[in-house]
Structure 1
Amino acid sequence: METLLNFTPAFPIFFLMFLLAYLFAFLVVFRNWSPKQKPEASSCLMSLTHGTPAVIMATRALMNSPTPLSFASPNASFQNFVLEFSIAYFLMDLLHYMVFVPSDLLFIGHHLATLYVFVTCRYVVHHGAVAILVLLFLAEVTSACQNVRSLANLRRADVPLAAKVYEFLSPPFYVFYSVARGVLGTLVVYKIGVFYASGGANNLIPRWAWISWMVVIVVAVMISILWVSNLWIFWFRQRSHRAQKKVK
Protein backbone atom coordinates (compact mmCIF):
# COMPACT_ATOMS: atom_id res chain seq x y z
CA MET A 1 0.00 0.00 0.00
CA GLU A 2 2.76 2.46 0.94
CA THR A 3 4.60 1.75 -2.33
CA LEU A 4 1.44 2.20 -4.36
CA LEU A 5 0.69 5.57 -2.75
CA ASN A 6 4.20 6.81 -3.53
CA PHE A 7 3.50 6.46 -7.24
CA THR A 8 -0.19 7.37 -7.41
CA PRO A 9 -0.89 10.83 -8.91
CA ALA A 10 -3.37 11.48 -6.11
CA PHE A 11 -3.85 15.22 -6.43
CA PRO A 12 -5.06 15.35 -10.07
CA ILE A 13 -7.42 12.43 -9.46
CA PHE A 14 -8.84 14.04 -6.34
CA PHE A 15 -9.21 17.41 -8.04
CA LEU A 16 -11.10 15.81 -10.93
CA MET A 17 -13.29 13.97 -8.43
CA PHE A 18 -14.26 17.20 -6.63
CA LEU A 19 -14.79 19.00 -9.93
CA LEU A 20 -17.18 16.27 -11.09
CA ALA A 21 -18.96 16.31 -7.73
CA TYR A 22 -19.46 20.07 -8.04
CA LEU A 23 -20.69 19.84 -11.64
CA PHE A 24 -23.02 16.95 -10.79
CA ALA A 25 -24.50 18.99 -7.95
CA PHE A 26 -24.80 22.12 -10.10
CA LEU A 27 -26.21 20.49 -13.24
CA VAL A 28 -28.22 17.62 -11.80
CA VAL A 29 -28.97 17.67 -8.07
CA PHE A 30 -29.75 21.38 -7.77
CA ARG A 31 -30.66 22.13 -11.38
CA ASN A 32 -34.10 23.48 -10.38
CA TRP A 33 -32.82 25.73 -7.61
CA SER A 34 -32.48 29.46 -8.18
CA PRO A 35 -29.30 30.74 -9.89
CA LYS A 36 -28.31 32.41 -6.62
CA GLN A 37 -28.68 29.23 -4.57
CA LYS A 38 -27.17 26.66 -6.96
CA PRO A 39 -23.48 27.60 -6.57
CA GLU A 40 -23.61 27.64 -2.76
CA ALA A 41 -25.60 24.41 -2.63
CA SER A 42 -23.12 22.76 -5.01
CA SER A 43 -20.25 23.89 -2.79
CA CYS A 44 -22.03 22.34 0.22
CA LEU A 45 -22.53 19.02 -1.54
CA MET A 46 -18.89 18.99 -2.63
CA SER A 47 -17.89 19.76 0.96
CA LEU A 48 -19.90 16.73 2.07
CA THR A 49 -17.78 14.55 -0.23
CA HIS A 50 -14.67 15.90 1.49
CA GLY A 51 -15.48 16.38 5.18
CA THR A 52 -16.36 12.96 6.57
CA PRO A 53 -13.96 11.04 4.27
CA ALA A 54 -11.19 13.43 5.36
CA VAL A 55 -11.97 12.67 9.02
CA ILE A 56 -11.85 8.92 8.39
CA MET A 57 -8.67 9.14 6.30
CA ALA A 58 -6.92 11.44 8.78
CA THR A 59 -7.80 9.08 11.64
CA ARG A 60 -6.42 6.11 9.74
CA ALA A 61 -3.28 8.02 8.76
CA LEU A 62 -2.61 8.93 12.39
CA MET A 63 -3.46 5.55 13.89
CA ASN A 64 -1.38 3.59 11.34
CA SER A 65 1.65 5.86 11.27
CA PRO A 66 4.83 3.85 10.49
CA THR A 67 6.84 6.13 12.81
CA PRO A 68 6.16 7.41 16.35
CA LEU A 69 3.70 10.30 16.25
CA SER A 70 5.20 13.72 16.72
CA PHE A 71 4.26 17.20 15.54
CA ALA A 72 7.58 17.24 13.68
CA SER A 73 7.78 13.64 12.44
CA PRO A 74 8.38 13.02 8.71
CA ASN A 75 5.25 12.70 6.60
CA ALA A 76 4.26 9.11 5.90
CA SER A 77 2.95 8.22 2.44
CA PHE A 78 -0.66 7.88 3.52
CA GLN A 79 -0.44 11.15 5.44
CA ASN A 80 0.68 12.84 2.22
CA PHE A 81 -2.20 11.09 0.47
CA VAL A 82 -4.69 12.70 2.87
CA LEU A 83 -3.02 16.09 2.48
CA GLU A 84 -3.41 15.87 -1.30
CA PHE A 85 -7.06 14.91 -0.88
CA SER A 86 -7.69 18.10 1.08
CA ILE A 87 -5.50 20.27 -1.15
CA ALA A 88 -7.63 19.23 -4.13
CA TYR A 89 -10.84 20.06 -2.26
CA PHE A 90 -9.72 23.48 -1.02
CA LEU A 91 -8.40 24.42 -4.46
CA MET A 92 -11.70 23.46 -6.10
CA ASP A 93 -13.73 25.32 -3.48
CA LEU A 94 -11.42 28.33 -3.86
CA LEU A 95 -12.24 28.39 -7.58
CA HIS A 96 -15.93 28.28 -6.67
CA TYR A 97 -15.57 31.38 -4.49
CA MET A 98 -13.45 33.23 -7.02
CA VAL A 99 -16.01 32.62 -9.79
CA PHE A 100 -19.31 32.96 -7.93
CA VAL A 101 -18.53 34.90 -4.73
CA PRO A 102 -15.41 37.01 -5.46
CA SER A 103 -16.50 39.56 -2.85
CA ASP A 104 -16.22 37.01 -0.01
CA LEU A 105 -12.63 37.90 0.81
CA LEU A 106 -12.77 36.16 4.20
CA PHE A 107 -13.42 32.71 2.71
CA ILE A 108 -11.02 33.30 -0.17
CA GLY A 109 -8.33 34.33 2.31
CA HIS A 110 -9.14 31.31 4.50
CA HIS A 111 -8.76 28.91 1.58
CA LEU A 112 -5.52 30.52 0.37
CA ALA A 113 -4.04 30.36 3.88
CA THR A 114 -5.16 26.74 4.33
CA LEU A 115 -3.67 25.78 0.97
CA TYR A 116 -0.41 27.48 1.94
CA VAL A 117 -0.12 25.34 5.08
CA PHE A 118 -1.10 22.08 3.36
CA VAL A 119 1.03 22.63 0.26
CA THR A 120 4.19 23.63 2.15
CA CYS A 121 3.75 20.72 4.56
CA ARG A 122 3.24 18.24 1.71
CA TYR A 123 5.63 19.46 -0.98
CA VAL A 124 8.24 21.68 0.70
CA VAL A 125 8.85 20.74 4.33
CA HIS A 126 7.87 17.02 4.21
CA HIS A 127 7.37 17.07 7.98
CA GLY A 128 4.58 18.10 10.33
CA ALA A 129 1.64 16.28 8.75
CA VAL A 130 0.63 14.87 12.14
CA ALA A 131 -0.17 18.34 13.49
CA ILE A 132 -2.01 19.30 10.30
CA LEU A 133 -4.07 16.10 10.24
CA VAL A 134 -5.13 16.45 13.87
CA LEU A 135 -6.37 19.95 13.06
CA LEU A 136 -8.00 18.68 9.87
CA PHE A 137 -9.89 16.10 11.92
CA LEU A 138 -11.21 18.77 14.31
CA ALA A 139 -12.07 21.11 11.43
CA GLU A 140 -13.97 18.53 9.39
CA VAL A 141 -15.64 16.42 12.07
CA THR A 142 -18.51 18.95 12.10
CA SER A 143 -18.68 19.15 8.29
CA ALA A 144 -21.64 16.81 7.70
CA CYS A 145 -23.87 18.57 10.22
CA GLN A 146 -22.76 22.01 9.04
CA ASN A 147 -23.41 21.34 5.36
CA VAL A 148 -26.82 19.74 5.89
CA ARG A 149 -27.76 22.76 8.02
CA SER A 150 -26.46 25.13 5.32
CA LEU A 151 -28.50 23.38 2.62
CA ALA A 152 -31.59 23.57 4.82
CA ASN A 153 -30.91 27.25 5.43
CA LEU A 154 -30.90 27.93 1.69
CA ARG A 155 -34.41 26.49 1.31
CA ARG A 156 -36.07 27.22 4.66
CA ALA A 157 -37.95 30.25 3.33
CA ASP A 158 -39.61 28.12 0.66
CA VAL A 159 -39.78 24.60 2.08
CA PRO A 160 -41.31 24.00 5.55
CA LEU A 161 -39.35 20.76 6.03
CA ALA A 162 -36.09 22.62 5.35
CA ALA A 163 -37.03 25.18 7.99
CA LYS A 164 -37.68 22.41 10.52
CA VAL A 165 -34.36 20.70 9.71
CA TYR A 166 -32.54 24.02 10.09
CA GLU A 167 -34.16 24.73 13.46
CA PHE A 168 -33.53 21.19 14.68
CA LEU A 169 -29.86 21.07 13.66
CA SER A 170 -28.77 24.57 14.69
CA PRO A 171 -28.38 24.14 18.50
CA PRO A 172 -26.56 20.76 18.41
CA PHE A 173 -24.37 22.03 15.59
CA TYR A 174 -23.43 25.13 17.60
CA VAL A 175 -22.51 22.92 20.59
CA PHE A 176 -20.57 20.44 18.44
CA TYR A 177 -18.70 23.20 16.61
CA SER A 178 -17.95 25.09 19.85
CA VAL A 179 -16.42 22.00 21.45
CA ALA A 180 -14.50 20.85 18.35
CA ARG A 181 -13.13 24.21 17.26
CA GLY A 182 -13.35 26.37 20.36
CA VAL A 183 -12.30 23.95 23.10
CA LEU A 184 -10.39 21.04 21.55
CA GLY A 185 -9.05 23.15 18.67
CA THR A 186 -7.67 25.77 21.04
CA LEU A 187 -6.09 23.09 23.24
CA VAL A 188 -4.43 21.33 20.28
CA VAL A 189 -3.15 24.62 18.81
CA TYR A 190 -1.68 25.52 22.22
CA LYS A 191 0.12 22.14 22.44
CA ILE A 192 1.45 22.48 18.89
CA GLY A 193 2.66 26.02 19.60
CA VAL A 194 4.43 24.96 22.80
CA PHE A 195 6.05 22.04 20.98
CA TYR A 196 7.40 24.23 18.18
CA ALA A 197 8.42 27.13 20.43
CA SER A 198 10.32 24.79 22.75
CA GLY A 199 12.48 23.59 19.87
CA GLY A 200 10.74 20.28 19.23
CA ALA A 201 10.92 20.83 15.49
CA ASN A 202 14.52 22.09 15.34
CA ASN A 203 16.44 20.75 12.28
CA LEU A 204 13.22 19.15 11.01
CA ILE A 205 10.81 21.99 10.23
CA PRO A 206 12.30 25.37 9.25
CA ARG A 207 11.50 28.23 11.60
CA TRP A 208 9.78 30.22 8.82
CA ALA A 209 7.48 27.28 8.16
CA TRP A 210 6.23 26.53 11.65
CA ILE A 211 5.92 30.21 12.57
CA SER A 212 3.85 30.93 9.46
CA TRP A 213 1.76 27.81 10.09
CA MET A 214 1.05 28.91 13.66
CA VAL A 215 0.00 32.38 12.50
CA VAL A 216 -2.45 30.88 10.01
CA ILE A 217 -3.78 28.31 12.49
CA VAL A 218 -4.24 30.76 15.37
CA VAL A 219 -6.05 33.26 13.15
CA ALA A 220 -8.28 30.47 11.78
CA VAL A 221 -9.24 29.31 15.29
CA MET A 222 -9.96 32.88 16.39
CA ILE A 223 -12.20 33.46 13.37
CA SER A 224 -14.00 30.16 14.02
CA ILE A 225 -14.65 31.12 17.63
CA LEU A 226 -15.89 34.56 16.59
CA TRP A 227 -18.15 33.01 13.94
CA VAL A 228 -19.81 30.49 16.26
CA SER A 229 -20.09 33.14 19.00
CA ASN A 230 -22.10 35.33 16.63
CA LEU A 231 -24.33 32.36 15.81
CA TRP A 232 -24.95 31.76 19.52
CA ILE A 233 -25.77 35.43 20.09
CA PHE A 234 -28.22 35.46 17.19
CA TRP A 235 -29.83 32.21 18.38
CA PHE A 236 -30.33 33.50 21.94
CA ARG A 237 -31.77 36.77 20.62
CA GLN A 238 -34.24 34.85 18.48
CA ARG A 239 -35.34 32.73 21.45
CA SER A 240 -35.69 35.82 23.61
CA HIS A 241 -37.74 37.53 20.93
CA ARG A 242 -40.05 34.51 20.57
CA ALA A 243 -40.49 34.30 24.34
CA GLN A 244 -41.47 37.97 24.49
CA LYS A 245 -44.01 37.48 21.69
CA LYS A 246 -45.59 34.56 23.56
CA VAL A 247 -45.90 36.66 26.74
CA LYS A 248 -47.66 39.41 24.79
Structure 2
Amino acid sequence: METLLTFTPSFPTFFLMFLFAYLFAFFVIFRNWSPKHRSEASSCLMSLTHGTPAVIMATHAIIQAPTPRTFASPNVTGQNFVLEFSIAYFVVDLLHYMVFHPNDVLFIAHHLATLYVFVTCRYVVHHGALAILVLLVLAEVTSACQNVRSLVSLMKADVPTAKKLYEFLSPPFYVFYSVSRGILGTFVVYKMGVFYVSGAANNMIPRWAWISWMVVIVSAVLISILWVLNLWKEWYRERSHRAQKKVK
Protein backbone atom coordinates (compact mmCIF):
# COMPACT_ATOMS: atom_id res chain seq x y z
CA MET A 1 0.00 0.00 0.00
CA GLU A 2 1.26 3.47 -0.87
CA THR A 3 2.20 5.71 2.03
CA LEU A 4 0.07 8.84 2.17
CA LEU A 5 1.79 12.14 1.41
CA THR A 6 5.09 10.43 0.54
CA PHE A 7 6.78 11.66 -2.61
CA THR A 8 8.20 9.00 -4.89
CA PRO A 9 11.61 9.49 -6.57
CA SER A 10 10.00 10.89 -9.72
CA PHE A 11 8.86 14.11 -8.04
CA PRO A 12 12.32 15.37 -7.01
CA THR A 13 13.65 14.30 -10.40
CA PHE A 14 10.99 16.34 -12.21
CA PHE A 15 11.44 19.25 -9.80
CA LEU A 16 15.17 19.42 -10.53
CA MET A 17 14.50 19.07 -14.26
CA PHE A 18 12.13 22.06 -14.36
CA LEU A 19 14.35 24.08 -12.04
CA PHE A 20 17.29 23.44 -14.36
CA ALA A 21 15.21 24.44 -17.39
CA TYR A 22 14.23 27.70 -15.70
CA LEU A 23 17.75 28.54 -14.50
CA PHE A 24 19.29 27.63 -17.87
CA ALA A 25 16.84 29.94 -19.60
CA PHE A 26 17.42 32.71 -17.06
CA PHE A 27 21.23 32.62 -16.96
CA VAL A 28 22.04 31.43 -20.48
CA ILE A 29 19.31 31.81 -23.11
CA PHE A 30 17.87 35.12 -21.92
CA ARG A 31 20.91 36.47 -20.09
CA ASN A 32 21.03 39.59 -22.32
CA TRP A 33 17.34 40.38 -21.95
CA SER A 34 16.19 43.29 -19.82
CA PRO A 35 15.42 42.47 -16.17
CA LYS A 36 11.79 43.38 -16.89
CA HIS A 37 11.32 40.46 -19.32
CA ARG A 38 14.05 38.00 -18.35
CA SER A 39 12.18 36.09 -15.65
CA GLU A 40 8.92 36.01 -17.61
CA ALA A 41 10.66 34.63 -20.70
CA SER A 42 12.32 31.97 -18.54
CA SER A 43 8.93 30.97 -17.15
CA CYS A 44 7.53 30.70 -20.70
CA LEU A 45 10.40 28.51 -21.84
CA MET A 46 9.98 26.25 -18.81
CA SER A 47 6.26 26.06 -19.53
CA LEU A 48 7.08 24.85 -23.05
CA THR A 49 8.99 21.92 -21.52
CA HIS A 50 5.86 21.00 -19.53
CA GLY A 51 2.82 21.67 -21.70
CA THR A 52 3.13 19.48 -24.79
CA PRO A 53 4.91 16.59 -22.99
CA ALA A 54 2.15 16.66 -20.36
CA VAL A 55 -0.51 16.41 -23.07
CA ILE A 56 1.23 13.44 -24.69
CA MET A 57 1.87 11.61 -21.42
CA ALA A 58 -1.60 12.33 -20.03
CA THR A 59 -3.28 11.15 -23.23
CA HIS A 60 -1.25 7.93 -23.13
CA ALA A 61 -2.06 7.40 -19.44
CA ILE A 62 -5.78 7.90 -20.11
CA ILE A 63 -5.82 5.48 -23.05
CA GLN A 64 -3.80 2.83 -21.21
CA ALA A 65 -5.90 2.98 -18.03
CA PRO A 66 -7.71 -0.29 -17.18
CA THR A 67 -11.39 -0.52 -18.04
CA PRO A 68 -14.01 0.27 -16.96
CA ARG A 69 -12.84 3.88 -16.72
CA THR A 70 -14.81 6.29 -14.53
CA PHE A 71 -14.12 9.62 -12.88
CA ALA A 72 -13.64 7.71 -9.61
CA SER A 73 -11.33 4.95 -10.87
CA PRO A 74 -8.21 4.21 -8.80
CA ASN A 75 -5.11 6.03 -10.00
CA VAL A 76 -2.69 3.84 -11.93
CA THR A 77 1.08 4.21 -12.21
CA GLY A 78 1.05 6.13 -15.49
CA GLN A 79 -1.50 8.61 -14.18
CA ASN A 80 0.47 9.19 -10.98
CA PHE A 81 3.58 9.74 -13.11
CA VAL A 82 1.88 12.55 -15.04
CA LEU A 83 0.47 14.09 -11.85
CA GLU A 84 3.96 14.23 -10.31
CA PHE A 85 5.37 15.68 -13.53
CA SER A 86 2.82 18.51 -13.40
CA ILE A 87 3.11 19.01 -9.63
CA ALA A 88 6.85 19.59 -10.04
CA TYR A 89 6.27 22.13 -12.82
CA PHE A 90 3.69 24.10 -10.87
CA VAL A 91 5.90 24.16 -7.76
CA VAL A 92 8.81 25.66 -9.70
CA ASP A 93 6.58 28.15 -11.52
CA LEU A 94 4.96 29.09 -8.21
CA LEU A 95 8.43 29.88 -6.85
CA HIS A 96 9.00 32.05 -9.94
CA TYR A 97 5.89 34.11 -9.21
CA MET A 98 6.61 34.38 -5.49
CA VAL A 99 10.14 35.68 -6.16
CA PHE A 100 9.58 37.94 -9.18
CA HIS A 101 5.85 38.71 -9.11
CA PRO A 102 4.70 38.47 -5.48
CA ASN A 103 1.83 40.88 -6.17
CA ASP A 104 0.37 38.74 -8.95
CA VAL A 105 -2.20 37.27 -6.60
CA LEU A 106 -4.34 35.72 -9.34
CA PHE A 107 -1.58 33.54 -10.77
CA ILE A 108 -0.26 32.57 -7.35
CA ALA A 109 -3.78 31.59 -6.27
CA HIS A 110 -4.22 29.64 -9.53
CA HIS A 111 -1.02 27.66 -8.97
CA LEU A 112 -1.84 26.95 -5.32
CA ALA A 113 -5.35 25.78 -6.23
CA THR A 114 -4.03 23.58 -9.05
CA LEU A 115 -1.43 22.07 -6.75
CA TYR A 116 -4.12 21.38 -4.15
CA VAL A 117 -6.14 19.32 -6.65
CA PHE A 118 -3.13 17.47 -8.06
CA VAL A 119 -1.53 16.74 -4.68
CA THR A 120 -4.72 15.53 -2.99
CA CYS A 121 -5.59 13.38 -6.02
CA ARG A 122 -2.11 11.84 -6.15
CA TYR A 123 -1.14 11.49 -2.49
CA VAL A 124 -4.32 11.54 -0.42
CA VAL A 125 -7.33 10.26 -2.35
CA HIS A 126 -5.57 7.92 -4.83
CA HIS A 127 -8.64 8.03 -7.08
CA GLY A 128 -10.02 10.38 -9.72
CA ALA A 129 -6.90 11.04 -11.80
CA LEU A 130 -8.75 10.25 -15.02
CA ALA A 131 -10.89 13.38 -14.80
CA ILE A 132 -7.95 15.53 -13.69
CA LEU A 133 -5.82 14.35 -16.61
CA VAL A 134 -8.57 14.97 -19.16
CA LEU A 135 -8.75 18.56 -17.92
CA LEU A 136 -4.94 18.76 -17.95
CA VAL A 137 -4.92 17.79 -21.62
CA LEU A 138 -7.51 20.45 -22.46
CA ALA A 139 -5.61 23.07 -20.45
CA GLU A 140 -2.13 22.31 -21.82
CA VAL A 141 -2.97 21.53 -25.44
CA THR A 142 -2.79 25.28 -26.12
CA SER A 143 0.49 25.66 -24.20
CA ALA A 144 2.88 25.68 -27.16
CA CYS A 145 0.96 28.36 -29.04
CA GLN A 146 0.34 30.37 -25.89
CA ASN A 147 3.97 30.40 -24.77
CA VAL A 148 5.38 31.23 -28.19
CA ARG A 149 2.86 34.07 -28.38
CA SER A 150 3.89 35.23 -24.90
CA LEU A 151 7.59 35.16 -25.81
CA VAL A 152 7.14 37.19 -28.99
CA SER A 153 4.91 39.63 -27.11
CA LEU A 154 7.90 40.44 -24.90
CA MET A 155 9.90 41.35 -28.02
CA LYS A 156 7.23 43.02 -30.16
CA ALA A 157 8.06 46.55 -29.00
CA ASP A 158 11.65 46.22 -30.29
CA VAL A 159 11.47 43.60 -33.05
CA PRO A 160 9.07 44.21 -35.96
CA THR A 161 9.07 40.52 -36.92
CA ALA A 162 8.03 39.59 -33.40
CA LYS A 163 5.14 42.03 -33.59
CA LYS A 164 3.95 40.50 -36.88
CA LEU A 165 4.23 36.98 -35.45
CA TYR A 166 2.31 38.06 -32.35
CA GLU A 167 -0.49 39.48 -34.48
CA PHE A 168 -0.50 36.36 -36.66
CA LEU A 169 -0.67 33.93 -33.71
CA SER A 170 -3.24 35.78 -31.60
CA PRO A 171 -6.53 34.99 -33.47
CA PRO A 172 -5.88 31.24 -33.93
CA PHE A 173 -4.72 31.02 -30.32
CA TYR A 174 -7.91 32.73 -29.11
CA VAL A 175 -10.03 30.29 -31.15
CA PHE A 176 -8.05 27.26 -29.97
CA TYR A 177 -8.20 28.40 -26.34
CA SER A 178 -11.92 29.22 -26.54
CA VAL A 179 -12.75 25.77 -27.88
CA SER A 180 -10.46 23.73 -25.62
CA ARG A 181 -11.20 25.50 -22.34
CA GLY A 182 -14.42 27.37 -22.95
CA ILE A 183 -16.39 24.64 -24.74
CA LEU A 184 -14.73 21.25 -24.19
CA GLY A 185 -13.50 22.14 -20.70
CA THR A 186 -16.96 23.30 -19.65
CA PHE A 187 -18.49 20.07 -20.99
CA VAL A 188 -16.04 17.86 -19.07
CA VAL A 189 -16.58 19.83 -15.86
CA TYR A 190 -20.35 19.45 -16.30
CA LYS A 191 -19.97 15.67 -16.74
CA MET A 192 -17.77 15.52 -13.65
CA GLY A 193 -20.33 17.43 -11.60
CA VAL A 194 -23.16 15.15 -12.71
CA PHE A 195 -21.05 12.07 -11.92
CA TYR A 196 -20.06 13.21 -8.43
CA VAL A 197 -23.50 14.53 -7.44
CA SER A 198 -25.10 11.23 -8.52
CA GLY A 199 -23.16 9.47 -5.76
CA ALA A 200 -21.20 7.31 -8.22
CA ALA A 201 -17.95 8.27 -6.48
CA ASN A 202 -19.16 7.32 -3.00
CA ASN A 203 -16.74 5.09 -1.04
CA MET A 204 -13.95 5.95 -3.49
CA ILE A 205 -13.56 9.74 -3.39
CA PRO A 206 -14.47 11.51 -0.12
CA ARG A 207 -17.15 14.16 -0.43
CA TRP A 208 -14.84 16.89 0.85
CA ALA A 209 -12.38 16.01 -1.94
CA TRP A 210 -14.69 16.10 -4.94
CA ILE A 211 -16.57 19.15 -3.67
CA SER A 212 -13.34 21.09 -3.18
CA TRP A 213 -12.06 19.89 -6.57
CA MET A 214 -15.22 21.07 -8.28
CA VAL A 215 -15.01 24.48 -6.59
CA VAL A 216 -11.42 24.92 -7.78
CA ILE A 217 -12.06 23.57 -11.30
CA VAL A 218 -15.26 25.54 -11.91
CA SER A 219 -13.53 28.71 -10.71
CA ALA A 220 -10.57 28.04 -13.02
CA VAL A 221 -12.82 27.46 -16.04
CA LEU A 222 -14.79 30.64 -15.37
CA ILE A 223 -11.61 32.68 -15.00
CA SER A 224 -10.24 31.17 -18.23
CA ILE A 225 -13.43 32.09 -20.09
CA LEU A 226 -13.35 35.66 -18.76
CA TRP A 227 -9.66 35.94 -19.67
CA VAL A 228 -10.13 34.83 -23.27
CA LEU A 229 -13.25 36.98 -23.64
CA ASN A 230 -11.18 39.98 -22.60
CA LEU A 231 -8.56 39.05 -25.21
CA TRP A 232 -11.26 38.84 -27.88
CA LYS A 233 -12.54 42.30 -26.85
CA GLU A 234 -9.05 43.80 -27.09
CA TRP A 235 -8.49 42.16 -30.48
CA TYR A 236 -11.82 43.48 -31.81
CA ARG A 237 -11.08 46.95 -30.42
CA GLU A 238 -7.68 47.02 -32.13
CA ARG A 239 -9.19 45.84 -35.44
CA SER A 240 -11.89 48.50 -35.23
CA HIS A 241 -9.31 51.18 -34.45
CA ARG A 242 -7.17 50.18 -37.46
CA ALA A 243 -10.21 50.17 -39.72
CA GLN A 244 -11.14 53.68 -38.60
CA LYS A 245 -7.60 54.92 -39.23
CA LYS A 246 -7.69 53.51 -42.79
CA VAL A 247 -10.97 55.29 -43.48
CA LYS A 248 -9.50 58.58 -42.31
TM-score, with structure 2 as normaliser: 0.97
Where structure 2 has 5 or more consecutive residues not aligned to the other structure, the ranges are: 1-6
The equivalent of 2:134 in structure 1 is 134
Q: Distance in 1 between matches of 2:94 and 2:133?
A: 20
The equivalent of 2:186 in structure 1 is 186
Q: Distance in 1 between matches of 2:113 and 2:65?
A: 26
Instruction: Indicate whether 1:149 and 2:178 are aligned.
Output: no
The equivalent of 1:93 in structure 2 is 93
The equivalent of 2:161 in structure 1 is 161
* Alignment check: 8 A CA contact 1:31 1:38 kept: yes
One-letter code aligned to 1:179: V
Instruction: Indicate whether 1:202 and 2:170 are aligned.
Output: no
* Alignment check: 8 A CA contact 1:149 1:169 kept: yes
One-letter code aligned to 2:245: K
Where structure 1 has 5 or more consecutive residues not aligned to the other structure, the ranges are: 1-6
Instruction: Give 1:8 deviation, angstroms.
Output: 6.0
Identity %: 81
* Alignment check: 8 A CA contact 1:189 1:217 kept: yes
* Alignment check: 8 A CA contact 1:67 1:73 kept: no
Q: Distance in 2 between matches of 1:68 and 1:144?
A: 32
**Residues 233-244 of structure 1 mapped to structure 2, 5 A cutoff:** 233-244=233-244
Q: Distance in 2 between matches of 1:49 and 1:155?
A: 21
After superposition, give the CA deviation of every residue in 1:226-247 in whole Å (9 maximum; x if it has no partner).
0000000000000000000000
Q: Distance in 2 between matches of 1:18 and 1:69?
A: 31
Report how many residues are paired.
Answer: 242
**Residues 1-248 of structure 1 mapped to structure 2, 5 A cutoff:** 9-248=9-248
After superposition, give the CA deviation of every residue in 1:110-168 in whole Å (9 maximum; x if it has no partner).
00000000000000000000000000000000000000000000000001111011000
Q: Secondary structure at the match of 1:199?
A: coil
Q: Distance in 2 between matches of 1:45 and 1:192?
A: 32
Q: Secondary structure at the match of 1:137?
A: helix
Structure 1's consecutive aligned runs of 4 or more residues displaced over 4 angstroms after TM superposition are none
Q: Secondary structure at the match of 1:239?
A: helix
- CA RMSD, 1 decimal: 0.9
One-letter code aligned to 1:66: P
The equivalent of 1:3 in structure 2 is none
One-letter code aligned to 1:88: A
Instruction: Give 1:68 deviation, angstroms.
Output: 2.1
One-letter code aligned to 2:75: N
Q: Secondary structure at the match of 2:152?
A: helix
Q: Secondary structure at the match of 1:36?
A: helix
TM-score, with structure 1 as normaliser: 0.97
